[in-house]
Amino acid sequence: MIRYNLKHKLFFLTKILLIYFIFFLKSYGDNINADNKLIILGPNEAPVKIKIFSSLTCSYCANFHIKIVPEIKKDYVDKNKVQLIFIDFPLDQAAFNASKLLHCLDKKNQFTYLDNIYKNQNKWTSGSNIKEININLKNMVKNLGISNKKFDKCLDDEEISDKILSDRIEGQKKYSINATPTVVINEKKYEGSFDYQSIKEKIEKLI
């Protein structure tokens, strides 16, 4: 179970508020999918595009990623019928740090990392504070090309941090996100049950 002191909670909320302010001073564009820094599976020509907004510390997101994403990939992504777009929506500092590491990885290692981060969610989030959790994350990425030096540099990277929080703010603004995971299918927020059969029925109607 993750436990944070007030300092870490205030830091994360302050960071979001700062990016939120910047968001309304700059034009980020309306099309989240246009950003090539997103984590994407499947071709742009796919008739169905599914955006998945998730927090890496969210147990429901882990369940969705482990049980449902592989089925969608096998039945639709691998057949060029669906494109999956994974968008960070961190709910706390631990998820925020884990997301930053995701974007510091080479493309070939990003899905390996996502799989590991969700499958081992209970382990790496078990630290009593953010320092212990960061140590757990460091151990998870050391075999994926992130040295201790690169790890620290990644967590301090303002460009990556701002990108993650900007997408979070834009997603919340555009789709009224109030929980994770939130799934958007062809620009419509999915309101059905989070089981594969229900999502499959929705996809079949759009193909």
Taking the CB of residue 203, how many other CB atoms lie within 10 A of it? 19
Q: What is the pLDDT of residue 192?
A: 84
Q: What is the pLDDT of residues 2-23, one digit of tens each?
A: 444 444 454 555 555 444 444 4
Q: How far apart are the first and last CA of the chain?
A: 41
On whether the CB atoms of residues 128 and 3 are closer than 8 A, the answer is yes
Q: What is the pLDDT of residues 156-178, one digit of tens each?
A: 999 999 999 999 999 999 999 98
Cα–Cα dist 172/14, whole Å: 17
* Residue 163 token pair: 């990108």
Cα–Cα dist 102/39, whole Å: 9
Which class is 6-29+40-206 in CATH?
alpha beta
127 pLDDT tier (thresholds 50, 70, 90): confident
Q: What is the pLDDT of residue 26?
A: 43
User: Cis peptide leading into 181, omega within 30 of 0?
Assistant: yes
Q: How far, in Å, are 129, 153, 168 from residue 132 at the CA level?
A: 6, 18, 25
| Among the ranges given (13-17, 51-55, 91-95), the one the predictor scored with the smallest mean pLDDT | 13-17
Residues in the chain, how many? 207
